[in-house]
């Protein structure tokens, strides 16, 4: 696999591990879809006859998953003094995000988010494995931090040819609580 394909796989599985741990369902579109790499679905618990069950209630957020390294993720301040990651996103992916934002506001279709995994520079730090008999805790660790991005109402389709720079707030870290917050928002 190419380095880009390896980074893509790591970002998909990083997000999947967090989604699963937070109690949501994580899946993939049945057919290739425009900029949709994964789908996160809210699951509700209920009880019948003393048995716990879990129901998929149809609340789903589509996700476009990307990855980069720390050197390419330029962290700077925006015009309001907030820390942001400057990331160069392919035009087709950006326009898909904007299209879904505008359609979501009008028709309440599923939102489409961008999740960017920022990996360490050294490839040897992307995944660490501790499974030996002498290891105090057995685990697999994916290095890096993921951030989410959702367009705002001021954005429009771009006419750029290849890439457009998006500003992802560093406060938008992907963690266990991020899903609860997102499903409240959408």
User: Higher confidence at residue 54 or residue 13?
Assistant: 13
Question: Is residue 146 within 8 Å of residue 173, measured between CB atoms?
Answer: yes
Confidence of residue 2 (pLDDT cuts 50, 70, 90): very high
Helical axes 176-185 vs 3-21, angle rounded to 10°: 80
Question: Over the chain, what is the mean pLDDT?
Answer: 88
Q: Angle at the Cα of 64 (from 74 to 53), degrees rounded to 5?
A: 125
Sheet of strand 83-90, all strands in order from the earlier edge strand to the far edge: 74-77, 83-90, 163-169
Class of residue 55 by CB neighbours under 10 A (exposed 0-12, middle 13-18, buried 19+): exposed
pLDDT at 89: 94
pLDDT in tens, 83-127: 999 999 999 999 999 988 888 767 767 889 999 999 999 999 999
pLDDT at 135: 60
Confidence of residue 12 (pLDDT cuts 50, 70, 90): very high
Whole-angstrom distance, CA of residue 125 vs CA of residue 111: 33
Confidence of residue 141 (pLDDT cuts 50, 70, 90): confident
The fraction of the chain above a pLDDT of 70, given in percent, is: 95
Least confident of 10-14, 28-32, 133-137, 155-159: 133-137
* pTM, entire model: 0.88
User: Higher confidence at residue 65 or residue 109?
Assistant: 65
**Which whole number is the average pLDDT over 22-35?**
86
Residue 73 confidence (pLDDT) above 80: yes
pLDDT at 92: 93
Q: Angle at the Cα of 24 (from 22 to 26), degrees rounded to 5?
A: 115
pLDDT at 147: 96
Confidence of residue 35 (pLDDT cuts 50, 70, 90): confident
């Amino acid at each position: 696999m190419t380095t880009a394909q390896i980074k893509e796989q790591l970002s998909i599985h990083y997000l999947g591990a967090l989604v699963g741990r937070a109690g949501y369902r994580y899946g993939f579109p049945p057919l290739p879809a425009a900029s949709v790499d994964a789908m996160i679905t809210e699951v509700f618990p209920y009880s019948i006859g003393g048995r716990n069950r879990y129901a998929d209630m149809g609340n789903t957020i589509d996700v476009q998953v990307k990855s980069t390294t720390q050197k390419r993720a330029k962290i700077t301040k925006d015009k309001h003094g907030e820390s942001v990651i400057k990331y160069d996103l392919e035009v087709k992916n950006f326009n898909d995000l904007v299209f879904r934002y505008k359609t979501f506001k009008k028709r309440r279709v599923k939102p489409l988010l961008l999740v960017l995994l920022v990996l360490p520079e050294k490839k040897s730090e992307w995944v660490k494995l501790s499974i030996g008999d002498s290891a105090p805790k057995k685990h697999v660790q994916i290095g890096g931090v993921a951030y989410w991005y959702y367009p705002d109402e001021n954005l429009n389709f771009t006419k750029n040819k290849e890439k457009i720079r998006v500003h992802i707030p560093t406060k938008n870290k992907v963690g266990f609580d991020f899903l609860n917050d997102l499903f409240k928002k959408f």
